[in-house]
Structure 1
Amino acid sequence: MSVDQASWEAAVRHLYEDAYGYVATGPRRHEDWRIDVVAVMERAVPDPRGWTGFDDDADDPGREKRPAYPFRQPYKADPLRPITPADVGERLWEIDRASAELLLLALTDNGCTLRYLERFTETFEELQGMVRTVLARYGDTCTCHTNVSTGPHTARRTSGRVPRAGRRLPSTGRTAAWSSSPTPRWGCSGHSATSEP
Protein backbone atom coordinates (compact mmCIF):
# COMPACT_ATOMS: atom_id res chain seq x y z
CA MET A 1 0.00 0.00 0.00
CA SER A 2 1.42 3.33 -1.06
CA VAL A 3 0.56 6.48 0.87
CA ASP A 4 0.81 10.16 0.01
CA GLN A 5 1.46 13.10 2.32
CA ALA A 6 -2.12 14.41 2.39
CA SER A 7 -3.58 10.99 3.28
CA TRP A 8 -0.98 10.28 5.97
CA GLU A 9 -1.29 13.72 7.61
CA ALA A 10 -5.10 13.56 7.52
CA ALA A 11 -5.10 10.10 9.16
CA VAL A 12 -2.68 11.21 11.91
CA ARG A 13 -4.62 14.40 12.59
CA HIS A 14 -8.01 12.70 12.64
CA LEU A 15 -6.97 9.77 14.81
CA TYR A 16 -4.95 11.68 17.41
CA GLU A 17 -6.30 15.24 17.56
CA ASP A 18 -8.37 14.45 20.67
CA ALA A 19 -5.66 12.38 22.38
CA TYR A 20 -2.51 13.50 24.15
CA GLY A 21 0.08 12.53 21.61
CA TYR A 22 3.32 12.77 19.75
CA VAL A 23 3.65 11.27 16.27
CA ALA A 24 6.90 11.99 14.46
CA THR A 25 9.24 10.40 11.94
CA GLY A 26 12.95 10.94 11.50
CA PRO A 27 15.62 9.66 9.13
CA ARG A 28 17.19 6.23 9.56
CA ARG A 29 20.93 6.96 9.81
CA HIS A 30 22.36 4.27 12.09
CA GLU A 31 22.54 0.47 12.13
CA ASP A 32 21.32 0.70 15.73
CA TRP A 33 17.89 2.19 15.06
CA ARG A 34 17.51 3.11 18.74
CA ILE A 35 19.89 6.04 18.14
CA ASP A 36 17.53 7.33 15.45
CA VAL A 37 14.50 6.93 17.71
CA VAL A 38 16.19 8.98 20.46
CA ALA A 39 16.85 11.74 17.90
CA VAL A 40 13.14 11.74 17.00
CA MET A 41 12.10 11.72 20.67
CA GLU A 42 14.35 14.75 21.28
CA ARG A 43 12.95 16.46 18.17
CA ALA A 44 16.53 16.80 16.92
CA VAL A 45 15.81 15.73 13.33
CA PRO A 46 13.21 16.85 10.82
CA ASP A 47 10.76 14.56 9.10
CA PRO A 48 12.72 13.24 6.08
CA ARG A 49 9.78 13.91 3.76
CA GLY A 50 8.73 17.18 5.36
CA TRP A 51 5.41 15.71 6.46
CA THR A 52 3.61 17.12 9.50
CA GLY A 53 3.22 14.83 12.49
CA PHE A 54 1.52 15.60 15.77
CA ASP A 55 3.18 17.08 18.87
CA ASP A 56 1.18 18.21 21.89
CA ASP A 57 4.39 19.10 23.75
CA ALA A 58 6.23 21.12 21.09
CA ASP A 59 6.06 24.31 23.13
CA ASP A 60 6.03 22.79 26.62
CA PRO A 61 8.53 24.47 29.00
CA GLY A 62 9.55 21.01 30.27
CA ARG A 63 11.50 20.58 27.04
CA GLU A 64 14.03 23.24 28.10
CA LYS A 65 15.64 20.89 30.63
CA ARG A 66 14.69 17.60 28.95
CA PRO A 67 14.72 17.68 25.13
CA ALA A 68 12.85 14.37 24.93
CA TYR A 69 10.04 15.61 27.19
CA PRO A 70 7.56 14.03 27.94
CA PHE A 71 9.58 10.83 27.54
CA ARG A 72 11.39 9.91 30.75
CA GLN A 73 14.44 7.92 31.73
CA PRO A 74 14.08 4.64 33.58
CA TYR A 75 12.70 4.75 37.12
CA LYS A 76 15.15 6.12 39.73
CA ALA A 77 17.37 7.65 37.06
CA ASP A 78 18.50 11.25 37.21
CA PRO A 79 15.45 13.08 35.80
CA LEU A 80 17.65 15.42 33.77
CA ARG A 81 19.88 12.71 32.30
CA PRO A 82 19.30 12.44 28.55
CA ILE A 83 17.54 9.32 27.32
CA THR A 84 19.98 6.87 25.76
CA PRO A 85 19.51 4.24 23.06
CA ALA A 86 19.94 1.60 25.79
CA ASP A 87 17.01 3.14 27.70
CA VAL A 88 14.88 2.78 24.60
CA GLY A 89 15.87 -0.85 24.04
CA GLU A 90 15.26 -1.81 27.66
CA ARG A 91 11.69 -0.56 27.47
CA LEU A 92 10.47 -1.99 24.18
CA TRP A 93 8.89 -5.24 23.07
CA GLU A 94 8.59 -6.14 19.42
CA ILE A 95 4.98 -6.76 18.38
CA ASP A 96 3.41 -7.94 15.14
CA ARG A 97 1.71 -5.57 12.73
CA ALA A 98 -1.84 -6.60 13.69
CA SER A 99 -1.06 -5.83 17.33
CA ALA A 100 0.46 -2.50 16.30
CA GLU A 101 -2.73 -1.63 14.43
CA LEU A 102 -4.84 -2.31 17.52
CA LEU A 103 -2.42 -0.41 19.74
CA LEU A 104 -2.50 2.60 17.44
CA LEU A 105 -6.29 2.53 17.59
CA ALA A 106 -6.18 2.30 21.40
CA LEU A 107 -3.81 5.28 21.47
CA THR A 108 -6.53 7.47 19.98
CA ASP A 109 -7.88 7.65 23.53
CA ASN A 110 -5.95 8.70 26.63
CA GLY A 111 -7.32 5.64 28.43
CA CYS A 112 -5.61 3.39 25.86
CA THR A 113 -8.64 1.22 25.22
CA LEU A 114 -10.74 0.41 22.18
CA ARG A 115 -14.01 1.03 23.96
CA TYR A 116 -13.97 4.77 23.25
CA LEU A 117 -13.77 4.40 19.48
CA GLU A 118 -17.49 5.13 19.45
CA ARG A 119 -16.67 8.83 19.67
CA PHE A 120 -15.63 8.59 16.03
CA THR A 121 -18.31 8.66 13.34
CA GLU A 122 -16.35 6.12 11.27
CA THR A 123 -16.78 2.36 11.58
CA PHE A 124 -14.07 0.23 13.17
CA GLU A 125 -13.02 -0.89 9.69
CA GLU A 126 -12.70 2.72 8.49
CA LEU A 127 -10.58 3.64 11.54
CA GLN A 128 -8.46 0.55 10.99
CA GLY A 129 -7.96 1.73 7.40
CA MET A 130 -6.66 5.06 8.73
CA VAL A 131 -4.21 3.24 11.01
CA ARG A 132 -3.06 1.18 8.03
CA THR A 133 -2.52 4.45 6.16
CA VAL A 134 -0.29 5.67 9.00
CA LEU A 135 1.70 2.41 9.00
CA ALA A 136 1.88 2.23 5.19
CA ARG A 137 4.42 5.03 5.19
CA TYR A 138 6.95 2.67 6.76
CA GLY A 139 6.43 -0.22 4.36
CA ASP A 140 5.38 -3.82 4.81
CA THR A 141 8.67 -4.85 6.42
CA CYS A 142 8.83 -2.33 9.24
CA THR A 143 9.09 -3.65 12.76
CA CYS A 144 6.76 -2.35 15.46
CA HIS A 145 7.53 -2.06 19.15
CA THR A 146 5.71 -1.06 22.31
CA ASN A 147 6.51 -0.45 25.93
CA VAL A 148 3.06 -1.44 27.14
CA SER A 149 3.88 -4.08 29.70
CA THR A 150 0.53 -5.28 30.98
CA GLY A 151 -0.62 -8.71 29.97
CA PRO A 152 1.48 -11.61 28.69
CA HIS A 153 4.49 -10.99 26.51
CA THR A 154 5.30 -13.41 23.77
CA ALA A 155 7.56 -10.85 22.15
CA ARG A 156 11.17 -10.28 23.04
CA ARG A 157 12.98 -7.26 24.40
CA THR A 158 14.58 -5.02 21.81
CA SER A 159 18.36 -4.85 21.89
CA GLY A 160 18.80 -2.61 18.85
CA ARG A 161 20.76 -5.35 17.08
CA VAL A 162 19.54 -6.61 13.75
CA PRO A 163 17.00 -9.33 14.56
CA ARG A 164 17.78 -12.99 13.91
CA ALA A 165 16.98 -14.76 10.65
CA GLY A 166 13.34 -14.49 9.73
CA ARG A 167 13.17 -11.06 11.34
CA ARG A 168 16.04 -9.39 9.52
CA LEU A 169 15.45 -5.83 8.47
CA PRO A 170 16.06 -5.20 4.78
CA SER A 171 18.96 -2.96 3.80
CA THR A 172 16.48 -0.13 3.50
CA GLY A 173 14.83 -1.32 6.70
CA ARG A 174 12.39 0.92 8.43
CA THR A 175 11.67 0.76 12.11
CA ALA A 176 8.51 1.95 13.75
CA ALA A 177 8.92 2.26 17.49
CA TRP A 178 5.53 2.92 18.93
CA SER A 179 6.27 4.04 22.44
CA SER A 180 3.05 4.30 24.31
CA SER A 181 4.20 6.18 27.36
CA PRO A 182 6.70 8.67 28.69
CA THR A 183 6.34 7.36 32.24
CA PRO A 184 8.28 4.58 33.93
CA ARG A 185 5.03 2.80 34.85
CA TRP A 186 4.41 2.32 31.13
CA GLY A 187 0.88 3.68 31.10
CA CYS A 188 -0.59 4.30 27.72
CA SER A 189 -0.58 7.93 26.62
CA GLY A 190 -0.15 7.99 22.90
CA HIS A 191 3.40 8.71 21.84
CA SER A 192 5.25 7.31 18.88
CA ALA A 193 8.64 7.92 17.42
CA THR A 194 9.68 6.36 14.15
CA SER A 195 12.62 6.41 11.80
CA GLU A 196 12.82 5.74 8.09
CA PRO A 197 15.56 5.79 5.46
Structure 2
Amino acid sequence: MASPSFGPPPDAVAWESSLGTLRLWLAAVGPREHPDWLRDAAAVLQLRTRDPRGWRNIDLHTGSAERTRHTPYYPLDQVDEHHLNHHLELVTPHEAAALLTYQCAEYGNLARIPSGDGRPGLLDELHTAARTVLARFGPSAEFATNEELLGEEFPGSQGPVGDGERCRRSFAVSCFGHPDAQRNGYLMDVGVLAASETEVGVFWNYFID
Protein backbone atom coordinates (compact mmCIF):
# COMPACT_ATOMS: atom_id res chain seq x y z
CA MET A 1 0.00 0.00 0.00
CA ALA A 2 1.35 3.41 -0.94
CA SER A 3 2.26 5.92 1.74
CA PRO A 4 0.30 9.18 1.37
CA SER A 5 3.50 11.00 2.28
CA PHE A 6 6.07 9.16 0.18
CA GLY A 7 4.31 7.26 -2.57
CA PRO A 8 4.56 3.53 -3.27
CA PRO A 9 6.93 1.40 -1.18
CA PRO A 10 10.24 0.43 -2.79
CA ASP A 11 11.24 -2.98 -4.05
CA ALA A 12 14.65 -4.43 -3.19
CA VAL A 13 16.32 -2.74 -6.16
CA ALA A 14 14.96 0.73 -5.37
CA TRP A 15 15.81 0.24 -1.69
CA GLU A 16 19.44 -0.64 -2.44
CA SER A 17 19.80 2.18 -4.95
CA SER A 18 18.41 4.73 -2.48
CA LEU A 19 20.72 3.53 0.28
CA GLY A 20 23.60 3.95 -2.16
CA THR A 21 22.56 7.56 -2.76
CA LEU A 22 22.19 8.37 0.94
CA ARG A 23 25.61 6.97 1.93
CA LEU A 24 24.57 6.28 5.50
CA TRP A 25 27.00 4.91 8.06
CA LEU A 26 24.31 2.61 9.45
CA ALA A 27 21.05 1.56 7.81
CA ALA A 28 19.42 -1.49 9.34
CA VAL A 29 15.94 -2.96 9.59
CA GLY A 30 14.66 -5.58 12.01
CA PRO A 31 11.32 -7.16 12.82
CA ARG A 32 8.82 -5.43 15.05
CA GLU A 33 7.84 -7.91 17.75
CA HIS A 34 6.50 -5.69 20.55
CA PRO A 35 3.70 -3.10 20.88
CA ASP A 36 6.35 -0.69 22.17
CA TRP A 37 8.62 -0.55 19.13
CA LEU A 38 11.46 1.05 21.09
CA ARG A 39 12.35 -2.45 22.30
CA ASP A 40 12.77 -3.50 18.69
CA ALA A 41 14.66 -0.31 17.79
CA ALA A 42 17.14 -1.04 20.57
CA ALA A 43 17.68 -4.53 19.14
CA VAL A 44 18.37 -3.07 15.68
CA LEU A 45 20.80 -0.47 17.03
CA GLN A 46 22.53 -3.21 19.00
CA LEU A 47 23.01 -5.16 15.76
CA ARG A 48 21.03 -8.14 17.05
CA THR A 49 18.60 -8.45 14.13
CA ARG A 50 18.45 -9.36 10.45
CA ASP A 51 16.43 -7.64 7.78
CA PRO A 52 13.08 -9.50 7.64
CA ARG A 53 13.03 -9.24 3.84
CA GLY A 54 16.66 -10.14 3.34
CA TRP A 55 17.33 -6.76 1.73
CA ARG A 56 20.63 -4.96 1.87
CA ASN A 57 21.53 -3.24 5.12
CA ILE A 58 24.61 -1.08 5.73
CA ASP A 59 27.04 -1.06 8.63
CA LEU A 60 30.29 0.65 7.70
CA HIS A 61 31.86 -0.35 11.01
CA THR A 62 31.58 -4.08 10.36
CA GLY A 63 34.93 -5.65 11.17
CA SER A 64 36.14 -2.58 13.06
CA ALA A 65 38.87 -3.33 15.58
CA GLU A 66 37.02 -1.11 18.05
CA ARG A 67 34.17 -3.62 18.20
CA THR A 68 34.97 -5.90 21.08
CA ARG A 69 32.88 -7.81 23.62
CA HIS A 70 32.97 -4.62 25.69
CA THR A 71 31.89 -2.38 22.79
CA PRO A 72 29.85 -4.76 20.58
CA TYR A 73 27.97 -2.06 18.66
CA TYR A 74 30.66 0.60 18.51
CA PRO A 75 30.52 3.54 17.85
CA LEU A 76 27.10 3.52 19.56
CA ASP A 77 26.56 2.78 23.23
CA GLN A 78 23.47 4.33 24.84
CA VAL A 79 20.85 2.49 22.81
CA ASP A 80 18.87 0.50 25.36
CA GLU A 81 15.10 0.85 25.42
CA HIS A 82 15.09 3.10 28.50
CA HIS A 83 17.60 5.55 26.99
CA LEU A 84 15.72 5.68 23.70
CA ASN A 85 12.48 6.42 25.50
CA HIS A 86 13.98 9.52 27.08
CA HIS A 87 16.04 10.81 24.16
CA LEU A 88 13.92 10.42 21.05
CA GLU A 89 11.34 12.83 19.66
CA LEU A 90 8.49 11.78 17.41
CA VAL A 91 8.36 13.62 14.07
CA THR A 92 5.99 13.74 11.12
CA PRO A 93 6.74 11.86 7.88
CA HIS A 94 7.63 15.16 6.20
CA GLU A 95 10.04 16.04 8.98
CA ALA A 96 11.56 12.55 8.95
CA ALA A 97 12.37 12.77 5.23
CA ALA A 98 13.79 16.28 5.58
CA LEU A 99 15.87 15.31 8.60
CA LEU A 100 17.30 12.27 6.86
CA THR A 101 18.10 14.42 3.82
CA TYR A 102 20.07 17.00 5.77
CA GLN A 103 21.72 14.45 8.06
CA CYS A 104 23.08 12.58 5.05
CA ALA A 105 24.14 15.79 3.31
CA GLU A 106 26.03 17.04 6.35
CA TYR A 107 27.26 13.92 8.14
CA GLY A 108 26.85 10.98 5.77
CA ASN A 109 29.65 9.10 4.08
CA LEU A 110 29.54 11.41 1.07
CA ALA A 111 33.33 11.45 0.81
CA ARG A 112 32.96 8.30 -1.27
CA ILE A 113 31.06 10.23 -3.94
CA PRO A 114 33.72 11.62 -6.35
CA SER A 115 32.34 15.17 -6.56
CA GLY A 116 31.43 15.32 -2.88
CA ASP A 117 28.59 17.31 -1.42
CA GLY A 118 29.06 20.25 -3.76
CA ARG A 119 27.47 18.46 -6.71
CA PRO A 120 24.51 20.44 -8.12
CA GLY A 121 21.20 18.83 -7.30
CA LEU A 122 22.61 16.59 -4.58
CA LEU A 123 20.10 17.75 -1.96
CA ASP A 124 17.22 16.86 -4.29
CA GLU A 125 18.78 13.44 -4.95
CA LEU A 126 19.15 12.80 -1.25
CA HIS A 127 15.59 13.89 -0.52
CA THR A 128 14.18 11.59 -3.21
CA ALA A 129 16.23 8.71 -1.81
CA ALA A 130 15.14 9.46 1.75
CA ARG A 131 11.49 9.42 0.76
CA THR A 132 11.96 6.13 -1.08
CA VAL A 133 13.65 4.49 1.90
CA LEU A 134 11.03 5.71 4.37
CA ALA A 135 8.18 4.65 2.07
CA ARG A 136 9.10 1.06 2.94
CA PHE A 137 7.36 1.52 6.29
CA GLY A 138 3.95 2.32 4.86
CA PRO A 139 1.20 4.88 5.44
CA SER A 140 0.79 4.30 9.18
CA ALA A 141 4.48 4.43 10.08
CA GLU A 142 5.81 6.34 13.07
CA PHE A 143 9.08 8.26 12.94
CA ALA A 144 11.48 9.56 15.57
CA THR A 145 14.87 11.27 15.84
CA ASN A 146 17.46 12.00 18.49
CA GLU A 147 17.51 15.64 17.39
CA GLU A 148 15.61 18.25 19.37
CA LEU A 149 13.69 20.29 16.81
CA LEU A 150 13.35 23.92 17.72
CA GLY A 151 10.20 25.04 15.95
CA GLU A 152 11.48 27.09 13.02
CA GLU A 153 10.77 26.41 9.35
CA PHE A 154 12.94 24.40 7.02
CA PRO A 155 14.86 26.78 4.74
CA GLY A 156 13.89 27.26 1.13
CA SER A 157 10.16 26.99 0.60
CA GLN A 158 10.88 26.02 -3.00
CA GLY A 159 13.50 23.43 -2.00
CA PRO A 160 13.06 19.69 -1.61
CA VAL A 161 11.90 19.86 1.98
CA GLY A 162 9.04 22.33 1.46
CA ASP A 163 7.99 24.81 4.13
CA GLY A 164 5.70 25.22 7.11
CA GLU A 165 7.41 22.53 9.17
CA ARG A 166 9.85 22.64 12.04
CA CYS A 167 13.52 23.18 11.34
CA ARG A 168 16.73 21.50 12.46
CA ARG A 169 19.08 24.28 11.36
CA SER A 170 19.50 25.18 15.03
CA PHE A 171 19.28 22.04 17.10
CA ALA A 172 20.45 19.94 20.01
CA VAL A 173 21.25 16.24 19.81
CA SER A 174 21.02 13.47 22.40
CA CYS A 175 24.03 11.47 21.28
CA PHE A 176 24.19 7.70 21.69
CA GLY A 177 27.94 7.39 21.06
CA HIS A 178 30.31 5.32 23.15
CA PRO A 179 32.92 7.29 25.17
CA ASP A 180 35.67 5.50 23.25
CA ALA A 181 34.13 6.72 19.98
CA GLN A 182 34.04 10.26 21.29
CA ARG A 183 37.73 10.03 22.16
CA ASN A 184 38.33 8.77 18.63
CA GLY A 185 36.75 11.89 17.15
CA TYR A 186 33.13 10.81 16.79
CA LEU A 187 31.78 14.06 18.16
CA MET A 188 28.12 13.52 17.33
CA ASP A 189 25.73 10.86 16.09
CA VAL A 190 22.36 11.60 14.62
CA GLY A 191 19.63 9.58 12.98
CA VAL A 192 16.05 8.81 12.08
CA LEU A 193 14.02 5.80 13.19
CA ALA A 194 10.98 4.38 11.42
CA ALA A 195 8.45 1.84 12.65
CA SER A 196 5.65 0.07 10.82
CA GLU A 197 3.39 -2.63 12.23
CA THR A 198 5.93 -5.28 11.22
CA GLU A 199 9.36 -3.63 10.86
CA VAL A 200 11.64 -1.11 12.57
CA GLY A 201 14.44 0.72 10.75
CA VAL A 202 17.31 2.89 11.92
CA PHE A 203 19.29 5.29 9.71
CA TRP A 204 22.38 6.78 11.35
CA ASN A 205 25.22 9.21 10.60
CA TYR A 206 28.21 10.62 12.48
CA PHE A 207 30.06 13.91 12.72
CA ILE A 208 33.72 12.92 12.85
CA ASP A 209 36.53 15.35 13.53
Length-normalised TM-score, structure 1 = 0.67
Partners of 1:182 and 1:189 within 8 A in 2: yes
Do residues 96 (structure 1) and 74 (structure 2) align? no
Instruction: Report what 2:40 is aligned to.
Output: 36
In 2: Cα distance, 1:25 partner to 1:180 partner = 21
Choose which of 8, 12, 23 in structure 2 pairs with 1:5. Answer: 12
Select which of 141, 150, 153 maps to 1:152: 150
Identity of aligned residues (%): 26
The residue aligned with 2:83 is 87
More strand by share: 2
SS in 2 for 1:130: helix
Which stretches of structure 1, 4 residues or more, deviate above 6 A after TM superposition? none
TM-score (norm 2): 0.63
Work out whether residues 22 and 54 of structure 1, in 8 Å CA contact, stay in contact via their aligned partners in 2. yes
Over 3 Å counting, the alpha-carbon distance change for 1:9 and 1:188 in structure 2 is farther
Where structure 1 has 5 or more consecutive residues not aligned to the other structure, the ranges are: 74-82, 155-178
Which range is displaced more, 52-61 or 5-14?
Answer: 52-61
Alignment of 1:1-197 (within 5 A): 1-16=8-23, 21-64=25-68, 65-73=70-78, 83-111=79-107, 119-122=118-121, 124-149=123-148, 151-152=149-150, 181-183=175-177, 189-192=189-192, 194=194, 196=196, 197=198
Q: CA deviation at 1:130?
A: 1.5
Q: Is the CA contact (8 Å cut-off) linking 1:38 and 1:88 kept in structure 2?
A: yes
Consecutive unaligned residues of structure 2, counting only runs of 5 or more, are 1-7, 109-115, 153-172, 199-209
CA distance in 2, matches of 1:191, 1:108: 9
Which AA in structure 2 matches 1:135?
L
Taking structure 1 as reference, are residues 190 and 22 closer, same or farther at Cα in structure 2, changes over 3 Å only? farther
Change over 3 Å in CA distance of 1:100–1:89 after alignment to 2: same
Match of 1:160 in 2: none
Distance 1:123 1:147, change over 3 A: closer
Residue 94 of structure 1 aligns to a residue whose secondary structure is: strand
Instruction: Tell me how many residue pairs correspond in the alignment.
Output: 157
**What's the offset of the Cα at 1:195?**
5.2
User: How far did residue 97 of structure 1 move?
Assistant: 1.0
**Are residues 46 and 194 of structure 1, via their aligned partners in 2, closer, same or farther at CA, if it must alter by over 3 Å?**
farther
The letter of the residue matching 2:13 is A
**CA distance in structure 2 between the aligned counterparts of 1:13 and 1:146, rounded to whole angstroms:** 21
Partner residue in 2 for 1:171: none
Contact 2:101 2:127 in 1 (8 A): yes
User: Contact 1:96 / 1:144 at 8 angstroms: preserved in 2?
Assistant: yes
Shift of the 88–122 alpha-carbon distance from structure 1 to 2, 3 Å rule, reads same
